[in-house]
A and B are shown apart, each in its own frame.
Chain A
Amino acid sequence: MKESQERKVDFRTTVDGPVIKKMYTPEDLAGVVLDTSLAGEYPFTRHIRSNGFRGRLWTMRLYSGFATVEETNKRYKYLYQQGNTGFSVAFHLPTQEGYDSDHPLARGEVGKCGVAVDSLQDMEELWDGIPLAEASTSMTINATAPIILAMYVAAAEKQGIDKSKLRGTVQNDVLKEYIARNTYIFGPEPSMRLITDLCSYCAQYMPEWNSISISGYHMREAGATAIQEVAFTLANGIAYVKAMIEKGMAVDSFAPRFSFFFASYTNVLEEVAKFRAARRVWAKIMKDRFNAKNPNSMMLRYHVQTDGFTLTEQQPLNNIIRVTLQALAAVLGGCQSLHTNSFDEALALPSEEAVQVALRTQQIIAHESGVADTVDPVGGSYFVEWLTNHIEQGVLDYIKKVDDMGGALVAINRGYIQKEIMRSSYDYQKAVDSGEQVMVGVNKFTSDEKSSMKLLEIDESVEKRQVEKLKKLKRDRDNSKTKQALAEVRRVAKSQENIMPVLIDAVKTYATVGEISDALRDVFGEYREPTII
């Protein structure tokens, strides 16, 4: 029978992705050494655990935080009752960028895209009634990660829990902030020092804590392709491992607590192949380049968030389907924890109803779809294996380019990584505008209906309340102690000593995020973004 004419000239995963053939056969895998490793075996292509999700499911971890600690504490307790097994804290931007809620740059931002945390008092109240001994807490915090971790340790201590028992993650990845997310404060050099101080401290005193979450998610959000996302993330990972070794740490003493964070897009099989390729490449880097001996140092453990950029303001219910496909890809790819976005997030911060649908999506995949019942169920598909190899090669090519330049820090300073991502994001937008890249409800199957969903609104009084609270704190605390502690922060910042102990002392005097950041700014100065566009 004659074949019908094909719908497109080229079938691609995305505009800058590879051209996909009609069908894949064993011939597409010829010429490369077949990776027949099992799950739980080096290079962990199929899964880091030998039984995949048959033992423990991934952690269902919804990122949330808004308004003040009172509102967020209520949301956490609600999520906990709904079966959310890990917390993930969204801090408002002033906390992330080292400003107190009463700073002029904080105007309009207080409690908006995260919870306002100015001092240890806020941190204590955030976890009111939630036993930190049982919690696994991920905190999206980078430039101020050492300060926020210090507050978490101090808050746990007040609950009677020693830091060695705490489980969780701080993002603590500033390199990607220069590339995409932009919540940096200090320049690359002092940032690397603070990052590695935190990692060394955790390696010594907090064995259950993931000291860094090296993130590709935000690069993907900024427009990177799947290959770029993995390549630049692992290139940053290499820079961090090197910096730790230069600090005198043995690779197996810290690498098992290095974790990663990726996005998941709607092209399901490309994402699955991406996760498989990423595991394989990282394992080889750790073994061959850094001579790691402990298998845990070679395992790429990662969190996934479904991709925010693909959510549309038009016909927002369609986003539930997008999130489902993206979450399915994350699970098929073998993630360790997963955040599913809410369908209303192209319009506002998520409402409680939308958050519940997002969590239920994961629960349906876990308990109804059957995809979690056998390890790496799509492994062995000619197409998936070919695409895994293709992505691996693309990643290796980029890593070599970055290596040749002198590593990720140099590539970032030159704007190379930023330019590569910007080119991809512009290509994508042009493909959407031309209709080549279909976005349902946006450039195809459009309708004029306006949605009438109930959206979350952050009360205007939040900023006022938070600023009042901060004023009261500064009035009531022992200010001579705070002043002394801040002087100590400055002294240690100038020295080679690890910064963590003095930060823990400082937060205990209720020195604020803004005050401590200012003390560090005095010593380190501030980073200014070079104009790349």
Chain B
Amino acid sequence: MQSKKIRVLIAKPGLDGHDRGAKVVAQGLRDAGMEVIYLGLRLTPEQIAEAAIQEDADVVGLSCLSGAHLTLFPRTIKLVKEKTDKDILFIGGGIIPERDVARLKEAGVDQTFGPGTPLPEISKFIVAKAGSKK
């Protein structure tokens, strides 16, 4: 039994405007019983890190379809980790080639979800991982 809802922050770093995935995931996780904060788009890693702390997020979900993920995801995670010791779960989505996944994992991304991922796969992953981290 979970005493408290899992808090998920979803944000789009950088200039990419493709927000269908981020919004659908936000809705899906909310329907799966999580507390979801959708921060919006065109955000700097600094703004997202700040919000992650303020919102006391258990999970940070980053979405980027413009190809800037290798710059933006690691930078966001680094900034969050500088601000808190909390064991936050980081997930990423977008157009992310296989060759980049290992580099993102090294930088602290726990899992990436590409186009075509069923929503229950994402919520199950979060419950399994963040549930145990809480």
Cβ contact of A347, chosen from B70, B97, B118, cutoff 8 A: B97
Cβ contact of A222, chosen from B20, B68, B69, B72, cutoff 8 A: B20
**A51 adjacent to chain B (CB < 8 Å):** no
How far, in whole Å, are A443 and B119 apart by their CA atoms in the complex? 12
A 312-327 binary contact with B (CB < 8 Å = 1; else 0): 1110000000000000
Q: Residue on A with the closest CB to B25?
A: A429
Q: Residue on A with the closest CB to B20?
A: A222
**B66 adjacent to chain A (CB < 8 Å):** yes
Cβ contact of A529, chosen from B40, B44, B65, cutoff 8 A: B40
Q: Is the CB of A311 within 8 A of B115?
A: yes
Q: Is the CB of B40 within 8 A of A531?
A: yes
Q: Is the CB of B115 within 8 A of A113?
A: no
How far, in whole Å, are A433 and B74 apart by their CA atoms in the complex? 30
Cβ contact of A443, chosen from B38, B70, B98, B118, cutoff 8 A: B118
Residues of chain B within 8 A of A109, CB atoms compared: 14-16, 66-68, 71
List B8-40 residues whose CB lies under 8 Å from chain A. 14-20, 23-24, 26-28, 38, 40
CB distance from A21 to the nearest CB of B (A): 31
Q: Is the CB of B66 within 8 A of A455?
A: no
Contacts A113-B67, A425-B23, A529-B40; A433 near B95 (Cβ below 8 A): no
Q: Is the CB of B14 within 8 A of A108?
A: yes
**A203 adjacent to chain B (CB < 8 Å):** no
User: Of A104, A109, A443, A455, which is in contact with the most chain B CB atoms at under 10 Å from its CB?
Assistant: A109
- Please give the number of chain B residues whose Cβ is less than 8 angstroms from any Cβ of chain A in the complex: 36
**A309 adjacent to chain B (CB < 8 Å):** yes
Q: Is the CB of A429 within 8 A of B97?
A: no
Q: Is the CB of B120 within 8 A of A433?
A: yes
**A439 adjacent to chain B (CB < 8 Å):** yes
Residues of chain B within 8 A of A433, CB atoms compared: 118-120
Cβ contact of A97, chosen from B20, B42, B44, B115, cutoff 8 A: B42
**B108 adjacent to chain A (CB < 8 Å):** no
CB distance from A143 to the nearest CB of B (A): 11
In order of increasing CB-CB distance, the 3 nearest A-B pairs are A108-B71, A182-B17, A108-B68
Residues of chain A within 8 A of B72, CB atoms compared: 107-108
How far, in whole Å, are A433 and B75 apart by their CA atoms in the complex? 32
Residues of chain B within 8 A of A348, CB atoms compared: 67, 95, 97
Cβ contact of B114, chosen from A96, A105, A313, A443, cutoff 8 A: A313
Cβ contact of B68, chosen from A112, A312, A314, A430, cutoff 8 A: A112
List A65-123 residues whose CB lies under 8 Å from chain B. 93-94, 96-97, 99, 104-109, 112-113
How far, in whole Å, are A425 and B19 apart by their CA atoms in the complex? 11
**A1 adjacent to chain B (CB < 8 Å):** no
Contacts A109-B68, A432-B118 known; 10 new A-B pairs at CB < 8 A: A99-B15, A109-B71, A183-B15, A223-B20, A311-B115, A312-B115, A347-B97, A426-B28, A433-B120, A455-B99
**B126 adjacent to chain A (CB < 8 Å):** no
Residues of chain B within 8 A of A312, CB atoms compared: 115-116
